[in-house]
Amino acid sequence: MPRARIMCSIFAISLAWTIGKRNRTIAPRQKNKIAFIAPLIAGLLLPVLWSSQNPPRNQKYQELAEKIRSAGLRHEKAFKLLEGLIKTSGPRLTGSPGAAAAVEFMRKHMQELGLEAWLEPVTVQHWVRGDTEEASIIQSSERSPYFLSVTALGWSIATPAPGISAQVVEAASFDELRRLGEKVKGKIVFFNKAMDRTYLDTFQAYGEAVPYRGRGAAEASKQGAVAVLVRSMTLRIDDDPHTGMVQYDPKVAKIPAAAISTLDADFLSDFLQKNDSVVINLKLSCRELPPVASANVVGEIQGTEWPNQIILLGGHLDSWDLATGAHDDGAGCVQAIEALRLIKESGLKPKRSIRAVLFMNEEFSVTGGRDYARSGRRKKEKHIAAIESDRGGFLPVGLSVGGSPETFLKLQGLQDLLKPPGIVWVRPGGGGADIGPLAGQGTVLMSLVPDSQRYFDVHHSAQDILASVNPRELELRAIIMAIVAYVLAEEGL
Amino acid sequence: MPRARIMCSIFAISLAWTIGKRNRTIAPRQKNKIAFIAPLIAGLLLPVLWSSQNPPRNQKYQELAEKIRSAGLRHEKAFKLLEGLIKTSGPRLTGSPGAAAAVEFMRKHMQELGLEAWLEPVTVQHWVRGDTEEASIIQSSERSPYFLSVTALGWSIATPAPGISAQVVEAASFDELRRLGEKVKGKIVFFNKAMDRTYLDTFQAYGEAVPYRGRGAAEASKQGAVAVLVRSMTLRIDDDPHTGMVQYDPKVAKIPAAAISTLDADFLSDFLQKNDSVVINLKLSCRELPPVASANVVGEIQGTEWPNQIILLGGHLDSWDLATGAHDDGAGCVQAIEALRLIKESGLKPKRSIRAVLFMNEEFSVTGGRDYARSGRRKKEKHIAAIESDRGGFLPVGLSVGGSPETFLKLQGLQDLLKPPGIVWVRPGGGGADIGPLAGQGTVLMSLVPDSQRYFDVHHSAQDILASVNPRELELRAIIMAIVAYVLAEEGL
């Protein structure tokens, strides 16, 4: 399409130039006027031609988009499916019975919708939280013992049964940790890095704070720490601890790692200011069990002309265990399926295949995404585009797209179709953890981006429940997925 | 500013024309080229000049806006104030002790912030719900009695103590009501008009459905009905009845009016399909008491140069009685105060006065807004602009502005300043119930518009509580209010 624009522009200039030239035979006064007006028109026309964002091929897509939007908003199908999933599976931690129930429920549901549906095997880790999670301040003049609101980080090792009792040292950054040097030895390091509230995009704040959850234990262990406590990754000041992965360094000893709520992080920080020596007893009974056979759940509408060319819509089916993962990423899964349902119900038969992939095990190292991309089945397929949704089922605002500048301009042309269901921007970017491994195969990666204000209120915590999802926001996401997927399935990229 | 753009454009065309003319003395080949290029440049330049959205007067505002945004997002001051208000007042129905407590709390709070603060008297109605609200299906083969989830509409009259027992007839529209003719006589009319789910803007759906709540009782009474039940104004299908005003027609008899939950509206509609005659007993004990002296609460930062020229930020302090009115319109009140606090804390001393007005009694006939505009105090004041927020404390997305096209273009020029805190559009429109009476005084009316997906989940129901408010969304609204108010206070309109 950009080529078409270049051609148009060249045509406009040529036309103006030709008119100007031809009119040199006309009376001088008139000639001057035409010679002036013609290039003026070209000048006025050029930016219009260049700025007009690839209007959709024809009115057809506008009407279809409108039809899909009405059909979607009329009901709460995505929300009902999410409710069904949650009632069936409960929390869906990788390797858990809940995750296995979710696989079966979603496969069956896609079959009932009349989609081609199948499972693709994934072997997953099986970490369990265990019954004991406790962090108590056991020695202080003021309050003893005081129980902090705590939760183990995923993949943390357990403490010995009586717990680890050690003095706490606070560090707000890795620099501060290094400056503490020998003082860390034998201690529990408390990483109290708050997410920066001043960013509009809360993911930016998350990106800056999350290394303390991920690498904190490894860095502290290098200096001889015996455990770490991490301030929860949320902008709310409340009682809920937020879990997430810890990434151990194979070169240093693993030490237990847990998150405490933001209220308790503030309390502990104050308490450390007022007391010379604060000792905490940390008890965790989490452990890793043998790997488990699990699966990615796949469903699709087969393309009528090029069934082996795929438009993939993806989310991850596993969740954390503190809640039912309504936003993270139940939302991403149900909206991929709802997008297929909307396309099917609208009687559309796309030329290329549109596929929903519910990846297993995003939270523990993305093995589902990796195994999907590596699978032998992919050899006879070409994934044209993959759109991931893994930032919660909140109000959709943008489409972040990868690929070449030419691809970007083409996708930006979808903006007119996506405005009615609420998309306000299409920007370069794209990608996502689960679809990332497809990058090497020439797939254009995209991400459906919601407004980010509320996500970290619930992310990885006990608050990630159905009640925090708005049915209309969720449905709008499915509608947008359906429109983008259908146009790409028809037009290619 | 638009004038400046016109001048620029005229200059660009003249320049091109002159260059073209002057170069007629040059060698013909070169002459042609220049005569072509000059107007081409003019053509290219024109749209740029016309599209450039009035850049803010200087870098100063960009920096101030950034400073205000950071200061606001760093804390949850608007949310904390809302929490304080709610804890003090509880529900704040016009004329109630809760409303009186809210007046005192907010006046005191504004004084503590160092603002000029005062009360302006308003006499308000005093309607009370009473203890009894019941609607039961008392005669049916299947279920008897079945209690519907019901709530009286504001200003409804009571039923006799034993209730009104009558057969129910359903009407989805006023047309259907008229077609029912005599069949309505002695019956309870059930208006089952669902909000249209397919609109993106839920206020559009509300606008279409709300006449059945407002005028339903009057229209049904004209045909001899003895009471009305109205489907709740919400897009959720749930158990909560949503109240709101009924507007009686002085020419026809007042009849009791109540809303039932959407779940029960669907149930009742089905039940009426299956049963020839369904009798409901409706009991309401609501009543009107004598009027009460109340007040609008006003606080301001006085302008340094033109203190009698006012930029007004408004919301309404009264709420419905089913909950604490966190969104409707506690949010509007606290964000007006927070905007003043942000301006004050940033050390800004605006040339014109910036005033927060917490109007009393929006829900029962807007007497606060009317009395504010009518007050003798207004005689020596000129309200330059008034910005109302009364659509909930949700994610701000747009600024709806009234006034002349020239004023609109000027306000559109604020878009660059408002983008970082999240505003995606500035559109013609403007206004609001409480600031409406200022329209006759040449005030430019504006409204800060949030995303509308979630508002009717809570609106006028028991769900309008603090837990449904996100502190960051609320704070972003205050930040935007502060930026707009300060620029207008400096620049005028």
Are the C-beta atoms of A354 and A487 separated by less than 8 Å? no
Determine the residue of chain B that is closest to A80 in CA distance. Answer: B237
Residues of B in contact with A471 (CB under 8 A): 236
Determine the residue of chain B that is closest to A473 in CA distance. Answer: B453
Are the C-beta atoms of A122 and A361 separated by less than 8 Å? yes
For A413, phi then psi, to 5°, come to: -65, -15
* B91 plus B195 within the same structural domain: no
Residues of A in contact with B75 (CB under 8 A): 197
Q: Give me A462's structure tokens.
A: 């006990």
Among A residues 462-481, those touching chain B with beta carbons less than 8 Å apart: 470-473, 476
Determine the residue of chain B that is closest to A70 in CA distance. Answer: B198
* B155 plus B277 within the same structural domain: yes
Q: Are strands A150-152 and A257-260 parallel, antiparallel or unpaired?
A: antiparallel
Q: Are strands A306-316 and A352-359 parallel, antiparallel or unpaired?
A: parallel
Residue ending a domain, choose from A239, A270, A285: A285
Residues of B in contact with A198 (CB under 8 A): 69-70, 73-74
pLDDT at A256: 98
What CATH number is associated with residue A260?
A: 3.50.30.30
Bridge partner residues of B230 (DSSP)? B191, B259
Starting at the edge strand that comes first in sequence, how are the strands of the sheet with B116-128 ordered? B116-128, B287-301, B352-359, B306-316, B382-388, B444-450, B396-401, B425-428
How many residues belong to chain B?
493
* B219 plus B184 within the same structural domain: yes
pLDDT at B23: 46
Query: Smallest Cβ distance to A470: which of B17, B75, B454?
Result: B454
Bridge partner residues of A306 (DSSP)? A352
Cβ contact (<8 Å) for A37 and B42?
no
* A108 plus A32 within the same structural domain: no
Residue ending a domain, choose from A16, A35, A51: A51
Minimal CA separation from A453 to chain B, in Å: 6
Cβ contact (<8 Å) for A20 and B41?
no
Cis peptide bond upstream of B329, omega within 30 = yes
Question: Total domain count for chain A?
Answer: 3
Are the C-beta atoms of A343 and A68 separated by less than 8 Å? yes
Per-residue pLDDT of chain A (493 residues; tens, 9 = 90+): 344 444 444 444 444 444 444 444 444 455 455 555 555 555 555 544 444 444 445 789 999 999 999 999 999 999 999 999 999 999 999 999 999 999 999 999 999 999 999 999 999 999 999 999 999 998 655 556 899 999 999 999 999 999 999 999 999 999 999 999 999 999 999 999 999 999 999 999 999 999 999 999 999 999 999 999 999 999 999 999 999 999 999 999 999 999 999 999 999 999 999 998 999 999 999 999 999 999 999 999 999 999 999 999 999 999 999 999 999 999 999 999 999 999 999 999 999 999 999 999 999 989 999 999 999 999 999 999 999 999 999 999 999 999 999 999 999 999 999 999 999 999 999 889 999 999 988 999 999 999 999 999 999 999 999 999 999 999 999 999 999 999 999 999 9
Inform me whether the pLDDT recorded for B222 exceeds 60.
Answer: yes
- Whether A29 has its CB under 8 Å from any CB of chain B: the answer is no
Q: How far apart are CA B436 and CA B446, in angstroms?
A: 10
- Whether A235 has its CB under 8 Å from any CB of chain B: the answer is yes
Helix, coil or strand: residue A401: strand
Composition of chain B by helix, strand, coil, percent to 5? 45, 25, 35
* A377 plus A450 within the same structural domain: yes
Residue type, A94: T
Q: What is the number of CB-based contacts under 8 A between chain A and chain B? A: 114
pLDDT at A41: 54
- Whether B47 has its CB under 8 Å from any CB of chain A: the answer is yes
Among B residues 374-413, those touching chain A with beta carbons less than 8 Å apart: 395
Query: Of A12-26, B142-156, B232-246, which one has max mean pLDDT?
Result: B232-246
pTM of the predicted model as reported, rounded to 2 decimal places:
0.88
Residues of B in contact with A36 (CB under 8 A): 16-17, 20, 35, 39
Residues of A in contact with B459 (CB under 8 A): none
Query: Smallest Cβ distance to B42: which of A21, A40, A74?
Result: A40
Among B residues 76-105, those touching chain A with beta carbons less than 8 Å apart: 76
Are the C-beta atoms of A62 and A25 separated by less than 8 Å? no
pLDDT at A57: 59
Which residue range is the domain that position A320 belongs to? 59-125+290-491
Q: How far apart are CA A29 and CA A47, in angstroms?
A: 29
Minimal CA separation from A20 to chain B, in Å: 8
The DSSP code for A395 is -
- Whether A493 has its CB under 8 Å from any CB of chain B: the answer is no
Cα torsion angle, A120, A125, A130, A134, sign: negative
Cβ contact (<8 Å) for A44 and B39?
no
Residue ending a domain, choose from B268, B285, B302: B285
Beta-carbon neighbour count of residue B160 at 10 Å?
9
Residues of A in contact with B239 (CB under 8 A): none
Query: Smallest Cβ distance to A395: which of B20, B395, B476?
Result: B395
Cβ contact (<8 Å) for B39 and A40?
yes
Report the percent of chain B where pLDDT is more than 90: 85
Query: Smallest Cβ distance to B200: which of A44, A198, A422?
Result: A422
A288 CA to centre of own chain: 26
Residue in A349, A383, A387, A390 with CA at minimum distance from that of residue A486: A349
Name every residue whose Cβ is closer than 8 Å to that of residue A332 and which is 6 or more positions away in sequence. A314, A315, A316, A388, A389, A390, A393
What CATH number is associated with residue A300?
A: 3.40.630.10
Q: What is the CA radius of gyration of chain A?
A: 27
Catalytic residues of B, which ones?
A: 362
* B191 plus B261 within the same structural domain: yes
Q: Give me B137's structure tokens.
A: 């299906």
Task: Give DSSP secondary structure letters for A16-60.
Answer: HHHHHHHGGGS-HHHHHHHHHHHHHHHHHHHHHHHHS----SSHH
Q: What is the CA radius of gyration of chain B?
A: 27
* B278 plus B370 within the same structural domain: no
Residue in B377, B386, B375, B379 with CA at minimum distance from that of residue B352: B386
Name every residue whose Cβ is closer than 8 Å to that of residue A125 and which is 6 or more positions away in sequence. A94, A95, A155, A288, A291, A292, A361, A364, A365, A367
- Whether A73 has its CB under 8 Å from any CB of chain B: the answer is yes
Query: Smallest Cβ distance to B470: which of A424, A457, A473?
Result: A457
Give the model confidence (pLDDT) of B268-309 as tens digits.
999 999 998 999 999 999 999 999 999 999 999 999 999 999
Give the model confidence (pLDDT) of B357-416 as tens digits.
999 999 998 999 999 999 999 999 999 999 999 999 999 999 999 999 999 999 999 999
Residues of A in contact with B426 (CB under 8 A): none
Composition of chain A by helix, strand, coil, percent to 5? 45, 25, 35
* B180 plus B232 within the same structural domain: yes
Q: How far apart are CA B328 and CA A131, in angstroms?
A: 43
Helix, coil or strand: residue B267: helix
Q: Give me B493's structure tokens.
A: 């309109």
* A471 plus A414 within the same structural domain: yes
* A136 plus A266 within the same structural domain: yes
Cβ contact (<8 Å) for B237 and A76?
yes
Max alpha carbon distance in chain A (Å)?
103
Query: Smallest Cβ distance to B73: which of A70, A197, A422?
Result: A197
Cβ contact (<8 Å) for A200 and B17?
no
Where would I find the H helices in B315-468?
332-345, 367-374, 405-412, 415-418, 455-458
- Whether A66 has its CB under 8 Å from any CB of chain B: the answer is no
Helix, coil or strand: residue B80: helix
Q: Give me B296's structure tokens.
A: 């609008």
Minimal CA separation from A70 to chain B, in Å: 5
pLDDT at A276: 87
- Whether A36 has its CB under 8 Å from any CB of chain B: the answer is yes
* B118 plus B136 within the same structural domain: no
Are the C-beta atoms of B159 and B227 separated by less than 8 Å? yes
* B281 plus B297 within the same structural domain: no
- Whether A287 has its CB under 8 Å from any CB of chain B: the answer is no
Question: In the predicted model, what is the mean pLDDT of chain B?
Answer: 91
Q: Give me A63's structure tokens.
A: 């009407």
